[in-house]
Structure 1
């Protein structure tokens, strides 16, 4: 069965039409074709029977020549008499085929003599041979005496009208489906952060209602994100102000074990505030732009190498993609950062896989148990339970990474690395699915 709306709609339209045509053709064959074949066969058999009777009543040559001439002019029959000849073969059972059966029945009813007929002497003629007392009578007639062109005309009309109707149906259904496809593309683009301000409702009233609902939802989401961003900006300002005063007060206290511990606590609080704001902010305010994904990965790996990480990068296929650059950058940076925290070496392989661009991060760390792989994507979940920010982070790195990937229509998956350790698979769709 078709999976698309266009295919299913055409199937709904064309199936009744096809069934109607099949029923019409069956009725035509049962009634019209059967009747026409029977009447034509009886007409030809009647003419042949008249010739046989005429020869029996007037066997002299003068009457025979006159009868041959009249039969050629008026009945379109060419008659040849073969004296003392014997019919080599005859038909005693109805042959296969509607026309053959009707002609056999008609000749059997009107001629009480052995006979044989060949309907395919050539493309235009047929022959009937009849055994008489003193020879064989051969009657050659046009095939159109048994076959009517209305059959072929009927089929041509059926096929031609069907093609025209199917073409019109395809044209109209494509026009009806096009607005639905545009709505699907606009929804996909909005989910990936692409600007869809030029989208306009069109099509049937139900499709327009769905498009208007999508636009209202888009406006509400954008309004909600804008309000959340404004709120977070205010919270950020309010939190950073007392933290700055605390840092100044602690700087003036000099150096002592207690003061140094408080300074570290203030730094941890600043990192936590930054992580919370990054998680809550998401991709608000960032538009998708055409980005060289290979160049982006190279830049991030270069930064990690300068910080002392051991990374092997191999890009199989470079790709220009329409993405939210900072969002993907934050996603990849979090994955690389987690690998640097728990592993000594990291291998990165990037390339196109079908309609997706995949980045594989294979490290040699301790890995993550299968039962906990989904848990690490929960906000503030940390495998390292000491709550030490220097060793385990805040617990938002993988959450932000998956949130960013899914915001682009992709995903982040955790698997076993071939050489041990953990494999992180980042999947980003290249275009509209």
Structure 2
């Protein structure tokens, strides 16, 4: 017994074979019912004495019926009946039109069948780029689609496993380093040189901050939060009011509608950008620009700024500028990294640009997604 594989090739091949057969069947039907019919012949013309051959009849003007010769279909002497109009189903163009229609329909269904797996893989890859825990692809259908889905799902599992192992390793190392650092700080108290004790204490404090930031970074990567509608305007206004209560020069401009986001993650992201602007510039202005497809949050300051050739590098983990922004104010180089990854997980983007008049502007774009 011959077993036919359930593959995309067999589906497309069978579809086009069916279209060709259908076109030939339609052509056969047309030839059978129209092309093979006998040619209609016109009646011979009547002679000049055709009226004498007609039967006599009495004509009564009072009779309501009209005389029968008024309805006679015989033409006048010397003329012939006009040929009947040709049928719209006659002619060789009919066969061409039928075959063209069948081919177009088959090509349309074939193209949809061929591009459907590509669209599914593209959509799955887009979901994976923003959410590593996105649902796996269905492993059903033609052999080619099943193989591609299995490969994609295997890749997703490997990525999740590698991230889990890396996060676990870094978390364990960061957690275990806290104990020896704490012991070193206790032993510093026994040093008699006050200047040396102070410098070593600062180094150890910086190490503790770095370890805490690493743990926060690992937690942000592994944490999953459900989405819900959030009043972005109320969130930004509350953060600005808290900064103003501590004497900061902060303001918010613009209005926006609620957005379908991860509330805690987005709050941490906006708070990080606001605190960075206050730390390095002493003042901040947040602009809300609500659009139909996305919401744009611009965090503007008039501080020292960041050189254009280093604006992408500052988003890398543990990257710190040698001068201006990080040397004088500290930092671990993870704040912008966490902020961008938070925005990317929600399908948005975060970039840096110059502020008109000098300074730095963080542009946060979030798409308007439905539930």
TM-score calculated relative to the size of structure 2? 0.69
> RMSD of aligned C-alpha atoms?
4.6
* Paired position in structure 1 for 2:186: 248
SS state at 1:393 partner: coil
* Paired position in structure 2 for 1:201: 139
* Paired position in structure 2 for 1:151: 90
* Paired position in structure 2 for 1:223: 161
Bigger CA radius of gyration: 1
**Greater share of residues in helix:** 1
Q: How many residues align?
A: 334
Contact 2:175/2:211 (8 A) holds in 1: no
SS state at 2:159 partner: helix
Contact 1:362/1:417 (8 A) holds in 2: yes
Query: Which runs of structure 2 are paired with 1:14-93 in the superposition (5 Å)?
Result: 43-44=41-42, 47=43, 50-51=44-45, 54-55=47-48, 59=49, 61-63=51-53, 65=54, 77-81=73-77
Deviations 1:392-422 (A, max 9, x none): 4233333333333334333222223345432
SS state at 1:62 partner: coil
Contact 2:321/2:327 (8 A) holds in 1: no
Deviations 1:320-361 (A, max 9, x none): 3243x5544443333222211222332212344343332112
2:298 to 360, 378, 381: 360
SS state at 2:222 partner: coil
The alpha-carbon deviation at position 257 of structure 1 amounts to 4.2
Alignment of 1:391 with 2:339, yes or no, is no
Separation of aligned partners in 2, 1:410 and 1:370: 21
Contact 1:362/1:421 (8 A) holds in 2: yes
Separation of aligned partners in 2, 1:185 and 1:389: 43
* Paired position in structure 1 for 2:170: 232
1:320 to 233, 245, 259: 259
The alpha-carbon deviation at position 281 of structure 1 amounts to 5.5
Contact 2:171/2:218 (8 A) holds in 1: no
Separation of aligned partners in 1, 2:135 and 2:89: 59
* Paired position in structure 2 for 1:429: 367
**Greater share of residues in strand:** 1
Separation of aligned partners in 2, 1:307 and 1:247: 31
Separation of aligned partners in 1, 2:259 and 2:119: 24
TM-score calculated relative to the size of structure 1? 0.61
Residue ranges of structure 2 left out of the alignment (5+ in a row): 1-11, 56-67
Cα distance 1:338–1:301, how it changes in 2: closer, same or farther (>3 A)? same
The alpha-carbon deviation at position 149 of structure 1 amounts to 5.7
* Paired position in structure 2 for 1:414: 352
Alignment of 1:405 with 2:340, yes or no, is no
Separation of aligned partners in 2, 1:356 and 1:272: 35
* Paired position in structure 2 for 1:274: 212
Cα distance 1:417–1:36, how it changes in 2: closer, same or farther (>3 A)? farther
Cα distance 1:300–1:224, how it changes in 2: closer, same or farther (>3 A)? farther
2:128 to 172, 179, 190: 190
SS state at 2:329 partner: helix
The alpha-carbon deviation at position 226 of structure 1 amounts to 1.9
The alpha-carbon deviation at position 182 of structure 1 amounts to 4.6
Cα distance 1:293–1:263, how it changes in 2: closer, same or farther (>3 A)? farther
The alpha-carbon deviation at position 309 of structure 1 amounts to 3.0
The alpha-carbon deviation at position 167 of structure 1 amounts to 9.0
Contact 1:180/1:207 (8 A) holds in 2: no
Separation of aligned partners in 1, 2:155 and 2:235: 32
Separation of aligned partners in 2, 1:203 and 1:176: 12
The alpha-carbon deviation at position 139 of structure 1 amounts to 4.7
The alpha-carbon deviation at position 374 of structure 1 amounts to 2.9
* Paired position in structure 2 for 1:259: 197
Contact 1:315/1:351 (8 A) holds in 2: yes
Deviations 1:25-63 (A, max 9, x none): 9xx9xxx88x999x55xx33xx3xx326x22xxx47414
Deviations 1:132-154 (A, max 9, x none): xxxxx55555x6x34236439x9
SS state at 2:76 partner: strand
Residue ranges of structure 1 left out of the alignment (5+ in a row): 1-9, 67-71, 82-136
